[in-house]
Amino acid sequence: MRLSLSWADIQYAALALLAGLILGLISGYWALSIGAILFFHLIRLLSKLARIREWLVQGITVETSPDIPGSAGDIVKAIIAVKRDSDRQRKRLEELLNRFDAATDAMPDAMLIIDRQHRVEWANPAAKQLLGIDPLRDVGQPVGNIVRDPLIAHYLQAADYTEPLEFSSPGSVDRDLMLKIIPYSKQRHLFYVQDHKDLLRLERVRKAFVTNASHEMRTPLTVIIGYLESLSEHEEMDLRVRLGIDGALDQSLRLKNLLEDLLALSKLESTLSSQSVGAPVDMVALLKETKELVEASSHYKDQPLSLSCETEVKLIGNDTELQSVIRNVIDNAVKYTEPQTPIDIVWKQLADGSAKLSIQDHGEGIAARHLPHITERFYRVDKGRSRDTGGTGLGLSIVKHVLERHSGKLQISSEIGVGTYVEMVFPQERCE
Ligand code: ADP
């Protein structure tokens, strides 16, 4: 609304001027007459303002709005229009909030808004059921003080929310809750907890199935391999039969490798990562031992393996898991490298106290488009080639898993025809 001098104001000013002139003409006191008229005008204006102020103080309603003519009346109308607009907006916001409240109240998952110090700012009713957090009483409390679980405390402290956290609901031993933290502003995070009982049960059934099936197949397979090996030792044999037995033996050994890798993966998945925090592992001894094992293996093609240990530092972890990592990476270097091509293994400590294991080969290399996928299960760049070399496509998945359990970082760079460089860095806290 545009506020300009109204017609009533102009009329009133003209009348006042006329009255002043007449009064001056009659009395002959021009200045006094005009002053008296101006004073009267001022008092009238102030009284209008006082009425508007009183109306504002008492609370703006259309019914009690002062009926004032002229520009002051226009001000009243403008205030009423602004009030109507803000009323409409408030109502819309209230509706929106009510809908949001109803939705969060109905949610079976616990939702919390926490600040940078992890203090509860808001919680929905399910937070009480799942975590014992009272949406009214516990506002302002650090979430770690209410849900006393060291896993959550560690997760919040590490502030790495890329992977969700599985933990037990208070008062239960089953790890049936899943926590996701979603930062949505610099100040606030969404703390989202889902009951994963059904999903986890399904997942457990799947893992148990893979483990049991692999176990069940291992024994008969070992027997078959035994028979095939003793059969293949017979010298007098028809060539076709020999080829058949050798082929069957190859495939059985491949199956055995696959079962071993599947069992290793399910073991890693079914045990807590805290079980990887074992005694300090003598990496120098472990590297030497693994190098010898690779050199004695059937797929070794006489590539010179150079092992350079620039540090004696030990790694806090699980020696079996660490050996499987070293073995898998060196095995790959051997499998995908031509005979006589050198492979360099280096173990050293970095300036920041972390320790690095690197394996450099000069083999066929991996095209850049495959690199983001090679740690996925059963991902093989060249299925036929991997199969010929006895590969299962699970080796690097095992490596990735074990590294995660040892807080290590895996990096693989490669160039076709030049070679592959695998680097594993373990943080200082893991070194001793
Ligand atoms: P596999 O048992 O088939 O070797 P991995 O999970 O160990 O499975 O590796 C996945 C794929 O990555 C392999 O099939 C292979 O194509 C590729 N790869 C891994 N390491 C190397 C390497 N050092 N040189 C070339 N290719 C490699």
Mean of pLDDT values over 138-165: 90
Burial (CB count within 10 angstroms: exposed 0-12, middle 13-18, buried 19+), residue 117: exposed
Confidence of residue 1 (pLDDT cuts 50, 70, 90): very low
Instruction: Give the span between the Cα atoms of 331 and 416, in whole angstroms.
Output: 18
Mean of pLDDT values over 173-188: 84
Coil, helix or strand for 377?
coil
Distance 161 CA to ligand 1 centre (A): 29
The token pair at 348 is 């050293």
Instruction: Give the span between the Cα atoms of 358 and 304, in whole angstroms.
Output: 16
Examine the domain organization and report whether 404 and 301 are in the same domain: yes
- Tell me the per-residue pLDDT of 64-103, one tens digit each, with 9 for 90 and over: 888 888 788 888 888 999 999 999 999 999 999 999 989 9
Domain membership of residue 131 as a residue range: 107-195
Q: Where is the domain boundary, 70, 101, 132?
A: 101
Burial (CB count within 10 angstroms: exposed 0-12, middle 13-18, buried 19+), residue 339: exposed
Write the CATH number for 147. 3.30.450.20
Examine the domain organization and report whether 94 and 150 are in the same domain: no
- DSSP letter (8 states) at residue 430: G
The better pLDDT of the pair 200, 150 is held by: 150
Pocket of ligand 1 (CB under 6 A): 328, 332-333, 336, 361, 363-366, 374, 379-382, 386, 391-397, 420
Q: Where is the domain boundary, 220, 252, 270?
A: 270
Q: Where is the domain boundary, 101, 131, 166?
A: 101
Return the number of other C-beta atoms located less than 10 Å from residue 127's C-beta: 26
Task: Look up residue 211 and give its amino acid.
Answer: T
Phi, psi dihedral angles at 401 (to 5 degrees): -60, -50
Pocket mutation for ligand 1, best pick of 338, 358, 361, 386 (most atoms within 8 Å of C-beta):
386
In ligand 1, which atom is closest to the CA atom of 381? 16
Sequential DSSP letters for 19-60: HHHHHHHHHS-HHHHHHHHHHHHHHHHHHHHHHHHHHHHH--
Residue 299 predicted with pLDDT over 60: yes
Phi, psi dihedral angles at 166 (to 5 degrees): -95, 135
Examine the domain organization and report whether 227 and 329 are in the same domain: no
Examine the domain organization and report whether 303 and 379 are in the same domain: yes
Tell me if 14 is assigned to some domain: yes
Domain count, the chain: 4
Tell me if 2 is assigned to some domain: no
Tell me if 136 is assigned to some domain: yes
| pTM assigned to the model | 0.62
259-297 as b/e: b if 16+ CB within 10 A: bebbebbbbbeeeeeeebeeeebebeebbeebbeebeee
C-alpha distances in Å from residue 182, one per residue of 4, 131, 161, 162: 53, 18, 8, 9
Examine the domain organization and report whether 319 and 393 are in the same domain: yes
Instruction: Give the span between the Cα atoms of 243 and 249, in whole angstroms.
Output: 10
Tell me if 242 is assigned to some domain: yes
In ligand 1, which atom is closest to the CA atom of 359? 23
Examine the domain organization and report whether 140 and 250 are in the same domain: no
- State residue 173's pLDDT score: 59
Strands 305-309 and 343-349: parallel
The token pair at 315 is 């790694």
Examine the domain organization and report whether 125 and 220 are in the same domain: no
Tell me if 158 is assigned to some domain: yes
Mean of pLDDT values over 377-385: 84
Ordered alpha helix ranges (H), 107-196: 126-131, 143-146, 150-158
Tell me if 297 is assigned to some domain: yes
Pocket mutation for ligand 1, best pick of 396, 399, 400 (most atoms within 8 Å of C-beta):
396
Examine the domain organization and report whether 183 and 206 are in the same domain: no
Task: Look up residue 235 and give its amino acid.
Answer: E
189 in Cβ contact with 214 (< 8 Å): no
Count of alpha carbons within 13 angstroms of residue 89, beta-carbon side: 6
Write the CATH number for 212. 1.10.287
C-alpha distances in Å from residue 177, one per residue of 118, 202, 289: 19, 14, 41
The token pair at 260 is 């071993």
Percent of the chain with pLDDT over 70: 96
Tell me if 1 is assigned to some domain: no
Examine the domain organization and report whether 282 and 369 are in the same domain: yes
- State residue 174's pLDDT score: 60
Examine the domain organization and report whether 255 and 181 are in the same domain: no
309 in Cβ contact with 287 (< 8 Å): yes
Confidence of residue 172 (pLDDT cuts 50, 70, 90): low
Examine the domain organization and report whether 264 and 219 are in the same domain: yes
The better pLDDT of the pair 273, 310 is held by: 310
Tell me if 171 is assigned to some domain: yes
Examine the domain organization and report whether 420 and 278 are in the same domain: yes
- State residue 9's pLDDT score: 77
